[in-house]
Chain A
Amino acid sequence: MTEDSLVDPLVTETAHRLLSEICDHESIQAAEATGQAPEIWNAFAETGFPWISIDEDAGGSGGSLLDALEVLRLVGYHAAPIPAAETGILGGWLLANSSQELPDGITTVVPNGRENVTGSVSGDEVTVTGRALRVPWARVAERIVVPLSIEDQTVIASIDSAQCAIEPMTNMAGEPRDTVTFENVQVPLAIAAPGIDLEAFRFRGALSRAALMAGAIEKMSQLTVSYTNDRVQFGRPVAKFQAVQQHLVWGAQDAALARMVAETAAREAARGTAQFEIAAAKLVANQAAARATKACHQAHGAMGMTQEYPLHHLSRRLWSWRKEYGSDAEWSSWLGKIAVAQGADQLYPLVTGGSAVLN
């Protein structure tokens, strides 16, 4: 393995320590009530974590994409209610790759600009119009990034959030997924670097969600093992019942699986396009999330249903992330089409070689 195929252990350690300190049950509950978590965000941003993998020249924190995804995995693990992916490897990445300034505050990005938001170019400006749905944390963002495909170019519009109308909406996890309306908002024209287009953005979004999900499933599995070992019914810990052990095994298997695919995709993405691995990672993470949330909730009994116990911070995030940047059906059919196009003879090489075979 080369240097850049490894995560910097210091990143794991410091991010884990920081997030354990700043994300406790109360602060996550409070964020849900208000739709924001300024204290968590400020402490997290102060370390430069959101901007890892963006060059220092471009205003980022440096470091590799692997490091950035490791931080996202830990954000998922701690159910941190912050727009880490949006500010960094999604929005920040689009800005840096169109030579635009990174704001000091929160950046978010329109996930589905394609259908609902359009842009038109005149001179050195682009005018953006439309209504974007499910924009993460728009209400607290300083800038809203809109990737647009205009003629043969990918235009990255960086919009001051004060120039948009923002209606609050929340996802299952109680995190903001706002509706943002752009009414002829004019911003300077910025063209994305070669290779950065809407498709690449969509894959990057899926990669971010796979990392978050791997972390959340792992934490959920650990929580369930420890709860069922403490919880006594019929004179013994419920973890001693084989029916409960089956749930625990599903949780642990899915945690291992999701982490493995997320890390494989991350490693490949640090090297090249990695479309095949990312598609597979998001699909596998989606399915793992569905199984593991069922198993872990069932093993917890009523305790897992209450807001006072932390399981729902993880399960509700997983149900939401599962739906972002590609559902099971979308990635299954994408993978299916690729496999069919490669033909029978190439199936095994595709499975073992992944994106390298496609390129």
Chain B
Amino acid sequence: MNDLTEEQIRTELALILDRRSADTRLSTMGAGSDDLDEGRRYLANTVRDGWHVPTWPREHGGQDASAHQNSLIGRVLREFVVPDLYPFAIGLGMVGPALLQHGTEVQQRDWLKPIASGEAIWCQMFSEPEAGSDLANVALTAQQDGDEWILGGQKTWTSRAMWADWAICLARTDPTQPKHKGLTMFAIPMSLSGVEIRPLMQMNRDAHFSEVFVDGARISDQCRIGDVGEGWRVAMTVLAHERAGGGSRGGGDGNARGLKLPSWVADLQVLVGEQSSDWRNKVAAIYARDTTSRWTAQRAGDEARSTGSPGPAGSGAKLRTVNSYKSRSYLANRTAGAHGMLEDGHGYIETLTAPSMSIRGGTDEIQRNILGERVLGLPGEPRLDRDVSWSESRRGLI
């Protein structure tokens, strides 16, 4: 198909979506809302012509769009009402792209379309009590039994687990290998017997992340994503998409054409009586940073699409997006004055959510380590356990 012009894309989208008005507000990812329907309706609506994941193949819910066409669509899409897709984000932004890279034909056929249409929700079972920043330390095991695998262990901080139909799960298949080498990636149905979810409450009263206990759960070998022992490589693809994805969504609700004030500034203006120069400086600094950050993310995104996989630039995007979110939240809450401490205060939920932003998806410190080592070429951190078998390093033998 020939690329559409910006105007053609706009006309097409206007047939199925409502235009965004200046007072449309974005919600805070996942906090405070349990509404899955709105996102489902939007995805069901856009999947027919592949508008939400344009680069995916047509048969899987995309439109085989080029990188250039994709960014153009992304830009035009900002002019329309797109609901909070937080519940669907793992599938759309991370598992989907990882399956396109590492999945079998059957896996792509079975799993991609339901992701694009909003039918299936996925969660990410990577972190464990002993494997946070040190993700390669996962201990949940998968043992092969004929053409099945038996899983046992514990995951934690699994966002969206209670909504999810499927999880992408990093497991240890060979403890005698060094820690990065003995890992394999699986897809597991959350309804499987032997999978138990215990929701945890966050300090912002969000209860969407959970502990997941897995005991003797059996899955078919068809659920293995990538080769045995290649789990770390698949995990890196997933995480790179997570970081870069955060970046391309960045800049909050900055207006596409750059003329009107973004809605967060408009909101704050209602709150402030006297706009001090200090306040104006802060608003302008955030706005300027967001704008350049968006351009940088677009450039990195185009680059990633032309090479097929996002690189370490995603870490930079993630740092900037997080910083912007935090600055806006704190400024909003500060502007609300004493009322901002109340449950119904402006920026209340965001202020309680903000500290998690620089932790989830890899902490700021880890992103900077990645940038230092992979972009700047600085010497790597000492890694004593790199060539030692996981079971030995785990027993503290090094």
Count class of interface residues, chain A: 35 or more
User: What 1/0 mask marks residues of chain A from 133 to 153 whose CB sits below 8 Å from any chain B CB?
Assistant: 110000000000000000000
Minimal beta-carbon separation of A134 from chain B (angstroms):
6
**Can you spell out 29 A-B residue pairs with CB atoms less than 8 angstroms apart?**
A134-B338, A177-B342, A233-B132, A233-B137, A234-B383, A234-B385, A235-B393, A290-B330, A297-B355, A298-B355, A298-B359, A301-B133, A301-B363, A302-B127, A302-B356, A304-B355, A306-B201, A306-B203, A307-B200, A307-B202, A308-B200, A308-B201, A315-B203, A315-B355, A316-B203, A319-B351, A323-B337, A323-B341, A327-B338
Determine how close the nearest CB of chain B comes to the CB of A172; give it in whole angstroms: 5
- B342 and A171 within 8 A (CB): yes
Q: Contact: A307 with B339, CB < 8 Å?
A: no
User: Which B residues between 355 and 394 are near A, CB-CB below 8 angstroms?
Assistant: 355-356, 358-360, 363-365, 368, 381, 383-385, 393
- Which 7 pairs show the lowest CB-CB distances between chains A and B? A312-B203, A297-B355, A233-B134, A307-B201, A320-B341, A243-B365, A171-B341
Cross-chain contact B356 with A172 (CB below 8 angstroms) = no
Known: A302-B157, A312-B203, A323-B338. A244 touches B365 (CB 8 A): yes
Contacts of B262 in A (CB 8 A): none
A30 touches B (CB below 8 Å): no
Q: Which residues of A contact B383 (CB under 8 A)?
A: 234
CB nearest neighbor in A for B340: A323
A311, closest chain B residue (CB): B203
Partner of B341, one of A172, A235, A298, A315: A172
- Interface readout for B150-184 with A: 1 if CB under 8 Å, 0 if not? 00000011000000000000000000000000000
Let me know if B341 and A305 touch, CB within 8 A.
Answer: no
* A165-191 Cβ-contact flags toward B at 8 Å (1 or 0): 000011110000100000000000000
The reply on A329 being an interface residue by CB < 8 A is yes
Q: How far is the CA of A315 from the CA of B203 in the complex (A)?
A: 10
CB of A348 closer than 8 Å to a CB of B? no
Q: What is the 8 Å Cβ interface bit string for chain B, positions 105-135, against chain A (1 contact, 0 not)?
A: 0000000000000000000000100101110
Any A CB within 8 A of the CB of B352 = yes
Interface mask (B319-334 → A, CB under 8 Å = 1, otherwise 0): 0000000000010001
A-side residues, CB < 8 A to B, are 112, 133-134, 169-172, 177, 232-235, 238, 241, 243-244, 290, 293-294, 297-298, 301-302, 304-308, 312, 315-316, 319-320, 323-324, 327-329
A312 and chain B: residue at smallest CB distance: B203
Give per-residue flags for B249-285: 1 if the beta carbon is below 8 A from chain A beta carbons, else 0.
0000000000000000000000000001010000000
The residue from B134, B203, B358, B381 contacting A307, defined by CB atoms under 8 A apart? B203
Question: Roughly how many angstroms separate A328 CA and B358 CA in the complex, as a whole number?
Answer: 25
Q: Which of A234, A244, A297 has the most CB of B within 10 A?
A: A234
Q: B353: nearest residue on chain A (CB-CB)?
A: A305
* Chain A residues closer than 8 Å to B147, beta-carbon distance: none
